[in-house]
Amino acid sequence: MRMTSLQHTFFIVKGEQPANGSYCNSIFFTARVIYFGDFLSPQEEAATATILDSGGWSTELKRRVQHFGYRYDYKARAVAPDAYLGPLPPWLGVFARRLVRDGHCESLPDQVIANEYFPGQGISAHVDCVPCFDDTIVSISLLSACEMVFRDLRGSGTCGVVLQPRSGVLLMGSGRYHWTHEIPARKSDIVNGVKTVRSRRISLTFRKVTASTRT
């Protein structure tokens, strides 16, 4: 594994290192952010998209979303105790248990948000709700690649990672609390100097609701 640094930015990549366009190729050796490829098989990816499209997409945001386990209140930036929707459906439970089995999560995730992005859509820089969710957050990408950009809240460090279909990115520790992450709202990304056009993308974000939130 080739490992370099850019200011305070480090990545750990398991498997093939993602291309990063004009951003760093660095790796968080302190295990704050981990990128891993091929978490889903192509068959699982296609089946998951089909299941989601047969469900109820919400249009409460500019992008469509679906909530599982607990409903997240975007306006309040909170998870209310009465927002419990029930256990994760079996198909998501399989992925949640795999995250634990593969060592990505210590605790079994119990909340998932599916986000749908069309070319030109993104999500602004943010840190996931600190009191709502525990230390580890994992996002799985489906259908299309895109760049996720990280910015250090404590300085000027910036790093981008191209998230390939069926890959995952794990945020924990400093990467969870001290770096924002975003998907720039654009129709293409520059990957290894080549313009790569985006297509429809779905992300599955796995989180564990904190005990204080559940009571």
What is d(CA 3, CA 180) in angstroms, rounded to the nearest whole number? Answer: 22
pLDDT digits (tens, 9 = 90+) for 93-112: 999 999 999 999 999 999 99
Model confidence at 179, in pLDDT bands (50, 70, 90)? Answer: confident
Q: Is the pLDDT of residue 121 over 90?
A: yes
Smallest Cα–Cα separation from 32: which of 202, 150, 162, 184? 150
Q: Look at the block and give the residue holding tokens 């895109």.
A: 146
Enumerate the domain spans of the chain: 12-214
Model confidence pLDDT, tens digit, residues 62-95: 889 999 999 887 777 778 777 888 999 999 999 9
Q: How confident is the model at residue 200 (pLDDT cuts 50, 70, 90)?
A: very high
User: What's the whole-number mean pLDDT along residues 188-203?
Assistant: 90
> What is the CATH number assigned to the segment(s) 12-214?
2.60.120.590
The answer on pLDDT for 4 being more than 50 is no
Going by pLDDT thresholds of 50, 70 and 90, the confidence category of residue 166 is very high
Q: Label residue 136 by pLDDT band (50, 70, 90).
A: very high
Sheet containing 179-183, strands listed edge to edge, beginning at the edge strand earlier in sequence: 123-126, 179-183, 146-152, 158-163
- Stretch 132-161: mean pLDDT: 88
Question: CA neighbours within 13 Å on the CB side: how many for 69?
Answer: 25
- Do the strands 179-183 and 146-152 form a parallel or antiparallel pair, or are they unpaired? antiparallel
Task: Determine phi and psi for 134, rounding to 5 degrees.
Answer: -80, -165
